[in-house]
Structure 1
């Protein structure tokens, strides 16, 4: 068999493999990926709503330009209320960025040390959390502690816990997933413990510290600790496939507008949220963008350094198999391509 014949056979196998892989990928993802790229974000949002999202908010802050918020779909599906650009949204794990900045500031003030162990902070957890004597604050922030993730408990989101004690009880006594520092594994228990540690050190709820040190200086007046702190009519409805009701009343942590999140991400990446050597401390322990998921709500906060642009995307539709998560990631990339293409056109002109 000559080289040309071997190459032809390889191409056949490659083509067949591609067809087989596409067969097992949900068609909606393939469709979202192969559709021609729209010229504008508005067009992309309309296309995304056609894919099945109930509503979307996209905030774009391009350096040197006035930020713009785009919307599509419904804020309230039942009443057919259009999406409000100033609607509050459950930002889920994007809140970890605020927690990490708060820890950084407490380290800068000498109130916390990144090398202090969990056993020193919370000695009552020795024997309940494996390796508590060697798990440091730094490892928890970086998701390298090995502690089991309490939200991975079967059916957790159908019956979520409502307190620190209930959440911790789900993983107490369970073996570690790995030795501290050996791996990275995203884990909400880390930040459950970090918030408890900050509360204990401060002597008051750490969100007040976040307000004083982060939100107020940045004039972020539309960021809140809980759904219980807001007017429920200002919250965007959230919808989970297979569940018939709006999930906006569920208390899943921080709420914010897309604009507030975008301003925070800009300040985080430019360093204006920090003082003295805080940015260097932060850069050594955590990331500068994040995403979040709770039933009914998907949130993405990105900073694209090559075009100096912040993009925050909110989607108020989720599903048990994370199909909509994968779909939203495709859409996020397409929004970036639209912005990058426009940025290149503007430079050339």
Structure 2
């Protein structure tokens, strides 16, 4: 639900490969390494042609009781829920209960521009409705129950970011409203609709609309890392609704996306509408390209949970990753899985810590600017470590991997300094940007 610092698009390295040659030992090694170094807690499933060819889990459902996770552990999946909600909207369209071009004023007369905003605009984030989870006071009520009426009121009183269909910008509010539309047309709670139309037909045994985390039913707490794992707050799921309230596990997620792309949930014609990208957004779906190949899916984040679901149509390959504790770049885990499938090289991370003298760190302090991107990064020192802070964002710690190279594994950021030239290179997501000290 919330954006990560320096969030980057998924980058996939792909070439032809075969499941029978899947390099499971490589993924095993990565998971052991991440587990040993407190970099990741979570689970993965890789499926081809409807058959799981790899699954694994590391970490804990509950650290305080040392309850270990396994492949049956269930996670909050955040915004991957939007793919399910989109499928439900298209089912309603196929049942002649809705259409993409109808405006939403019938359902939400108090929402600004409701007479111009369509169902389609909500699905592909072209409504202009303010993202409610970006509200300045959001953290003061995110753990408290919110009624449907209160959520509509909060959305209706928010500002309009742009005129409908003039641009696209991610907004959870869109899918909260879509949830309420589904409940109106079916005269049932969202939890019943999704159970009846998706969960039961696909026999998804570990997927449902969530509530308060229940460790006795193989759900798990989520955590953030700051020297040690710390339990995260727990969002009340009355807030995200169909934008981010589902609970699932990787195996169930692969079943869902395989059936979606097989036309077994909605028609293939409507799946193609979901895949149609405009201004980087599809309908409840993103495109993740690399060279001539592309995959489709969605990522998710709520509290300390992070997740990703992606599907490659040609190979009928589904990859699902869930996490309840992340101190490493999620994309790198996906890249390891894909390199294991497509038989491509993958460099294992090195988590050996390097301790540097204060005078070495001092030469890097200052504010850096780039001609390539409109962003300044200020480097400061806290105790015996460097901190970095980008314009308008929170500061984050840097870990030295050498005397000149520092990293922030959680976002896949690497900073390489050349003190003599007063330069710093930012590396992330396969891209490099040169910065100069002011």
Task: Give the TM-score band, short-chain normalised.
Answer: 0.7 to 0.9
Q: What residue in structure 2 maps to residue 33 of structure 1?
A: none
Q: Structure 2 matches for 1:146-225, cutoff 5 A?
A: 146-154=128-136, 156-157=138-139, 159-160=141-142, 161-163=144-146, 164-225=148-209
* Aligned positions of 1:52-91 closer than 5 A: 52-63=38-49, 65-91=51-77
Cα distance in 2 between the residues matched to 1:222 and 1:309: 21
Count the aligned residue pairs. Answer: 298
1:7 match: none
Q: Distance in 1 between matches of 2:344 and 2:94?
A: 41
Q: What is the distance in 1 between the residues matched to 2:65 and 2:212? A: 23
Task: Give the alignment's TM-score, normalised by structure 1.
Answer: 0.76
Partner of 1:272: 264
User: 1:314 aligned to 2:322?
Assistant: yes
**What TM-score, normalized by structure 2, do the two folds share?**
0.62
1:258 corresponds to: 250
Q: Structure 1: 5+ residue runs without aligned partners?
A: 1-24, 26-36, 319-323, 344-349
> Alignment partner for residue 83 of structure 2, among 97, 101, 104?
97
Structure 2 CA distance for aligned equivalents of residues 238 and 171 of structure 1: 27
1:229 Cα deviation after fit: 9.1
More helix by share: 1
Distance 1:157 1:61, change over 3 A: farther
Contact 1:296 1:317 in 2 (8 A): yes
Change (3 A) 1:213 1:281: farther
Task: Name the structure, 1 or 2, with higher relative contact order (CA <8 Å, separation 6+).
Answer: 1
Secondary structure at 1:105's aligned position in 2? helix
- Cα drift, residue 39 of structure 1: 5.2
Return the alpha-carbon distance in structure 2 between the equivalents of residues 334 and 229 of structure 1: 30
Alpha-carbon distance in 2 for matches of 1:181, 1:100: 18
Please report how far the alpha carbon of residue 40 of structure 1 lies from its aligned counterpart in structure 2 after TM superposition. Answer: 1.6
Rounded to whole Å, the distance in 2 between the matches of 1:276 and 1:54 is 36
Q: Determine which structure has the larger strand proportion and give its number.
A: 2
> Cα offset for 1:56?
1.7
Q: CA RMSD in A?
A: 2.9
**Counterpart check, 1:132 vs 2:114:** yes
Q: Post-superposition shift, 1:52?
A: 3.1
Instruction: Give the Cα–Cα distance (whole angstroms) in 2 for the partners of residues 276 and 315 of structure 1.
Output: 30
Unaligned runs of 5+ residues in structure 2 are: 1-5, 7-22, 277-282, 286-295, 346-438
